[in-house]
Amino acid sequence: MAVQDSSGLHRALGCDMAAAEAVAARYPLRITPYYLNLIRQAGEPLRRQAAPDIRELEDELGMSDPLGEEDLSPVPNLVHKYPDRVLLLVSSQCAMYCRFCTRKRKVGSSAMRFNEASFAAALDYLRQTPAVREVLISGGDPLLLSDGRLEEILRRLRKIKTVEVIRIGTRTPCTLPMRITPELCAMLRRFHPLYINTHFNHPAELTAEAARACALLADAGIPLGCQTVLLKGVNDNAEVLGKLFCGLLRMRVKPYYLMQADLTQGTGHFRTPVKEGFAIMRQLIGTISGMAVPKFVLDAPGGKGKIPLTPEYITAMQDGWLEFVNWQGLPCSYPLA
Ligand SMILES: *Cc1c(COP(=O)(O)O)cnc(C)c1O
Ligand code: SF4
């Protein structure tokens, strides 16, 4: 896609156009006018998420498919990693292409085709695999499909009785909140139990428009969660994340995961040291509502799954006692048996 300089795009993005062209030739560029306007107001932490950076082309360490998703796909666009749930990729499009995306290899590319043949194969797989209780619909972003297309996907999934729960992953409440309409919510609520996990990374993203989008979804009885990615120069401190998580709770969105950045090629400049994540969690746990504190997780390379990264509270287990410190660092003990 050619980067055209309309409406002061390059000024808002603060990058030189030749570099942006080079990066966008490999990893597509897309920003909504809504988010561009937020960048103008909030600056760097939002700009970094959306603006191409020449370092995307210089990352030697990263892997194109860090979570080994292609090897875990029994049929195209369906990733089966855990016994009871699968990930179904239904769209390659997103409202905005986040520069740190784990599926950078796929998003915005025509290589990912979700068509009738691959959907039929996925439905067949689910019918033959009754252990799968939950289908997580993601992409790309499922809400970049039309209401009609999404409804058809949900209707055909719901016909499979062993699929108990449907979960949609979408960033549109953050990047394109006007996508959430009363009509969409009226359609979605017919497919309960339906959950939505969204994706906010910074308190400046919690606008009136985003709050309205989340309220519409929550009023349709859809439990909302948030998967935040820990990103250098965006949200890598406890004060920013505390504001984000408490703000999400006010919008009836439960912070679900704080994710250590994956080893995705082209995203190395976003990665934070693991120890920093532990330090941030230490500052948040106990200080803000437990409801506002997500699980800090690492998605293990090669498709080995998400593991919790919990700061160390236990100092010893000996002589019949569990020794630990509390959230303030005060020593405590409790009998082991
Ligand atoms: C993250 C993920 C899930 C969902 O995991 P939860 O811990 O239940 O949120 C399912 N399948 C794949 C392939 C995933 O990467
Ligand atoms: S919305 Fe999600 S899938 Fe799409 S580019 Fe951003 S992080 Fe990747």
* Max CA separation in the chain (angstroms): 70
CA 332 to centroid of ligand 2, rounded, Å: 43
Q: Whole-angstrom Cα distance, residue 227 to residue 224? A: 10
How far apart are alpha carbons 15 and 86 in whole angstroms?
A: 38
Specify the amino acid at residue 128: Q
Q: What is the pLDDT along the chain (337 residues), one digit of tens a residue?
A: 445 555 567 777 777 788 889 999 999 999 999 999 999 999 999 999 999 999 999 987 889 999 998 899 999 999 999 999 999 999 999 999 999 999 998 899 877 788 999 999 999 999 999 999 999 999 899 999 999 999 999 999 999 999 999 999 999 999 999 999 999 999 999 999 999 999 999 999 999 999 999 999 999 999 999 999 999 999 999 999 999 999 999 999 999 999 999 999 999 999 999 999 999 999 999 999 999 999 999 999 989 999 999 999 999 999 999 999 999 999 999 999 9
What pLDDT, on the 0 to 100 scale, is given for residue 11?
74
* Cα–Cα–Cα angle for 74, 171, 181, rounded to 5 degrees: 110
Strand order in the sheet with 314-318: 314-318, 321-325, 331-335
Give the count of beta carbons closer than 10 Å to the beta carbon of residue 93: 18
Nearest CA to ligand 1 atom 5: 306
How far does residue 125's CA lie from ligand 2's centre (Å)? Answer: 26
Map out the domains of the chain with their CATH numbers: 4-333 (3.20.20.70)
Which of the listed residues 87, 125, 258 should we mutate to test ligand 1's pocket, taking the one with most ligand atoms within 8 A of CB? 87
The side-by-side arrangement of strands in the sheet containing 305-308 is 78-82, 85-91, 134-139, 165-169, 194-198, 224-229, 253-259, 295-300, 305-308
Shortest-distance ligand to the CA of residue 91:
2
pLDDT tens readout for residues 8-39: 677 777 777 888 899 999 999 999 999 999 99
Atom of ligand 1 nearest to the CA of 306: 7
Ligand 2 neighbours (beta carbon < 6 A): 94, 97-98, 101, 103, 107, 139-141, 171, 199
DSSP code at position 166: E
- Between the CA of 96 and the centroid of ligand 2 the distance, in Å, is 7
Closest ligand 1 atom to Cα of 80: 13
Nearest to 128 by CA among 89, 90, 162: 162
Nearest Cα to Cα of residue 21 among 50, 1, 41: 1
Q: How far apart are CA 290 and CA 282, in angstroms?
A: 12
Q: What is the pLDDT of residue 2?
A: 46
Mutation probe of ligand 1 site: the residue of 138, 296, 306, 309 with most atoms within 8 A of C-beta: 306
